Every structure is written in structure tokens, then in C-alpha cells.
Amino acid sequence: MIRPVTIALAVARKDLTSEWRTRELVPALGQFVVLALVIANFGFQIDSHNAAAIAPGVLWLALVFAGLVAFGRAFTAEREQASLEAMLLTPAPAAAIFAGKAMAAAMLLVLCEAVLLPALTLFFGTPLSVPLVAAVLLATVGMAALGCLFAALVAQVRARELLLPLLTLPLWIPFIVAGGQAVQVAMGASGGYNQALGLLIDFDILFVVLTSLAARFVLDD
């Protein structure tokens, strides 16, 4: 009997290896978030006075939509090659397979953040501080758990590109609220970010536990 952690890591390594061999998604996502900043610049008429107020919002908008693209792709290859069924036929628990998929998708989103945060510093002059990075990384954990669960769900239905944002975005709102607050504080607004970071950790625990319980019902057929 292989331990579930080993299975999850193996699934994550498989996904990351296949991304490393094709190098399709990460460059595209990096380009996408930089483009989002360019669009935001024209949409908001950003100058040195309002940049600090607008940057947190731009960060979360870019991140949310990059996340939708990344998680939407997580199950595309599996569906096209029917490899998910093969994985589910093994005695590996569905929750472990799901955890592996979610970890790999979260890693891709972290790589995308590694482009987004320096780009924000470069174009908007926002300081790249530890609490800001912590808030974004903590939100990524919960967003990846929820995003991957619903990506697995919509991969099996019609009109999946349409349904993923409709199901995922409302469930991501708590992360955007708390994460947005933490980033605003980190960028100079008044208030403490400790409570926002604490809240993000609470949400992460809640949704990681819930999604791993629900994974069985979404993956099993």
C-alpha cells in the first residue's frame, strides 16, 4: 500500500514534468498577467498619485483570471487522453490524485505570481514586501483547492469554459476580500495585516479539508 502523500507527489510531478516538456502554459500565463497590467493602465488612467490605490485591485483581478485559465487547463490533457480514468482505476484514493493535481496547478500559479509581483513593482511602483507575498501565496492555496475541484467537475460536462468562472468566482470571494485587505495594508493602507493573514489561513484550512472530502464525488464515476 503506497502512502497517499507519495501518490499526490507523483501526480504533481507528472503534471509539472509534462508542463516542463511542453512549456506551454507558464509562458502564456506570464504574458497574460503582464498584458492585464497594460490593459489596467489604460482602463484606469494610472499615474504616480493613484497607482498605490489601484494596484491591489489590479493584482487580484490579474491573479483571479490567470487562475481561471491555469485551473481550466489542469484537466484538459487528462480528458483528451482519457488518462484520468486510468488513474482512477488504480487503488489510489481519489483525494490523493486530486491533491496532486491541485498542487501542480498551484505551482503553476505561483510561477505566474513570480512574474506578476515583480511586474507590479516595475510598472506600478508597489513595494515587494514579505506580507504581500505571504498574502498572495496563502490565497493561492485555497484558490487552487477550490479551482481544481470545480475544474475537475466542469471537465466532465458541456460548456466547461463557461461554467468554470461561474462556479469558482463566487467561492473565491472570501480569499479576495481577505487577500485584498492584506495587500492594501502591505501597500500602505491603515490597519493590521495579521488578522487578514490569519483569516486567509483559516479559509485555507476550511476549503482544503472540504475539497479533499468532496474530491471523491467529483472524480469517481
Footprint of another protein (CB under 8 A): 146, 149, 153, 156-159, 163, 166-167, 169-171, 173-174, 177-178, 181, 195, 199, 203, 206, 210, 214, 217-218, 221
Q: Residue 1 Cβ, how far from another protein at the closest point, in Å?
A: 26
Q: Residue 38 Cβ, how far from another protein at the closest point, in Å?
A: 28
Residue 183 CA to residue 189 CA, distance in Å, equals: 9
Residue number with CB closer to another protein (107 or 155): 155
Residue number with CB closer to another protein (114 or 206): 206
Residue number with CB closer to another protein (17 or 156): 156
Residue 219's Cβ-count burial label (10 Å; 0-12, 13-18, 19+) is buried
The CA–CA distances, whole Å, from 10 to 13, 53, 100, 150, 171 equal 5, 42, 7, 22, 28
Residue number with CB closer to another protein (130 or 157): 157
Residue number with CB closer to another protein (125 or 188): 188
Q: Residue 19 Cβ, how far from another protein at the closest point, in Å?
A: 27
Residue 3 CA to residue 93 CA, distance in Å, equals: 10
Residue 124 parent element (H or E): helix 94-124
Residue number with CB closer to another protein (133 or 169): 169
Q: Residue 119 Cβ, how far from another protein at the closest point, in Å?
A: 27
Residues 6+ apart with CB under 8 A from 11: 87, 96, 97, 99, 100, 101, 103, 104
Residues 6+ apart with CB under 8 A from 188: 52
Q: Residue 79 Cβ, how far from another protein at the closest point, in Å?
A: 14
Q: Residue 196 Cβ, how far from another protein at the closest point, in Å?
A: 8
**Using alpha carbons only, what angle is made at residue 182 by residues 176 and 184, rounded to the nearest 5 degrees?**
95
Residues 183 and 135 sit within 8 Å (Cβ to Cβ)? yes
Rg (alpha carbons) of the chain, rounded to whole number:
18
Q: Residue 151 Cβ, how far from another protein at the closest point, in Å?
A: 12
Residue number with CB closer to another protein (117 or 164): 164
